[in-house]
Structure 1
């Protein structure tokens, strides 16, 4: 049995969430709730239930919305290269997404994301240099625009990432750490260069994992 606690702070609000996961043979059972579940008395707000078989499927049920989300994963071989496919369908918003990633080698991979109905499609290439620096150019076919991201791993646990969306002129900076002893945290800031009054939006998020 595993438990995780997550706290999130933004410049205009803060929130908290908790997740309880139980291994039941080949599948995992999860129950998640947010601070909205317990504030002003126990309620179903923010409560969700999940069943997952790692590498095969995830079924999420949003209790207050009575909404189901299905996610199926599979891997096939294309020219002796692994192609990871993910199919996601949300019943409530009737949204279906197909995501595929072709792993060329340990340093290069190409991925595509397509949203059925809307025609939204993105193509992304990721290159890892020296095992510590990653370059990720992404092309949005719908907007006919490019997004760029570069990240650098430092001391094994810390990752610094910078991104820029040309269509919205959104600049993002992020610092994250994934530690088995102290949990994970992420601090990010975004700045819209298209706005006349340029005020950065800052977000801090921390997660602690426990085994029971």
Structure 2
């Protein structure tokens, strides 16, 4: 089965697009992805990547313009009868490796960590979802000594609103996302830099079509 996804992005009168085409061959999927850089100046190989995916097991991405390969491996174990999901990611050209882990304490609580090897950069995130509708996620970046906070709320069956704040950049953000049907969705976002005197928000609209 072949599945496609095309997202149109509109930001301050600038339009772009992101697209994926996935061939589902059973356990392993083949995927081709393009970014808005590919469509902005006409068809080209800029922003084109090819992927081999086995869900919950591994992802291998090849970026054609950069001739770079990214390896990602996933695994899950149980720690004190609680699931721990781990992800290992390596970028070949950058010679950079990252480790991600998420510990599910219970249905309402989980803790996530991201660590980049040889950098000392570690990010810790706590997620609290008491009712299945509202999620509060504070996080702390030990590398930059900065904290972030996001709050997400499912308003109706198809509507999700969220707010976020990044202390390092002092950017305040708001999102509203609606799943119109099984074939598509759209999202409207607004971001504001509180350090700027004008404090004029940047508006972004995205419309996604699945086929």
Range class of TM-score, shorter chain:
over 0.9
Structure 1: distance between partners of 2:38 and 2:195 = 37
Q: Is the counterpart of residue 193 in structure 1 residue 194 in structure 2? A: yes
Match in the other structure for 1:176: 177
Moved more, 196-205 or 123-132: 196-205
Who is 1:59 aligned against? 60
Task: State the TM-score, normalizing by the size of structure 2.
Answer: 0.92
Q: How does 1:145-184 map to 2 (within 5 A)?
A: 145-184=146-185
Counterpart in 1 of 2:209?
A: 208
- In the alignment, the residues of structure 2 paired with residue 52 and residue 200 of structure 1 have an alpha-carbon distance, to the nearest angstrom, of 37
The CA deviation string for residues 78-129 of structure 1, in whole angstroms up to 9 with x for no partner, is 0000000011111222221111000011111001111122221111110112
**Partner Cα separation in structure 1 for residue 120 and residue 36 of structure 2:** 36
CA distance in 1 between partners of 2:72 and 2:183 (Å): 30
Moved more, 192-201 or 53-62: 192-201
Alignment: residue pair count: 210
Q: CA deviation digits over 1:40-93, x for unaligned, max 9? A: 664322211110000000011111111111111110110000000011111222
- SS at 1:46's partner residue? coil
1:26 aligns with 2:15: no
The aligned counterpart of 2:125 is 124
How much has 1:198 moved relative to structure 2? 1.5
Q: Find the counterpart in structure 2 of residue 91 from structure 1.
A: 92
User: What is the rounded CA distance, in whole Å, between the counterparts of 2:40 and 2:191 in structure 1?
Assistant: 29
- 1:196 CA displacement: 2.1
- CA contact 2:16–2:40 (8 Å) conserved in 1: no
Q: CA deviation at 1:13?
A: 2.3
Q: Which runs of 5+ in 1 are unaligned?
A: none
Q: Which range is displaced more, 13-22 or 49-58?
A: 13-22
Q: CA deviation at 1:145?
A: 2.6
Shift of 1:38: 5.7
More displaced 10-residue stretch of structure 1: 140-149 or 20-29: 140-149
Given the two structures, how large is their TM-score scaled by the length of structure 1?
Answer: 0.92
- Indicate the SS of the match to 2:129: strand
- Residues 37-48 of structure 1: matches in 2 within 5 Å? 37=38, 42-48=43-49
Q: Aligned pair in 2 of structure 1 residues 178, 119: CA closer, same or farther (>3 Å)? A: farther
CA distance in 2 between counterparts of 1:91 and 1:12 reads: 36
Q: Is 2:138 the partner of 1:142?
A: no
Structure 2: 5+ residue runs without aligned partners?
none
Separation of aligned partners in 1, 2:50 and 2:179 = 25
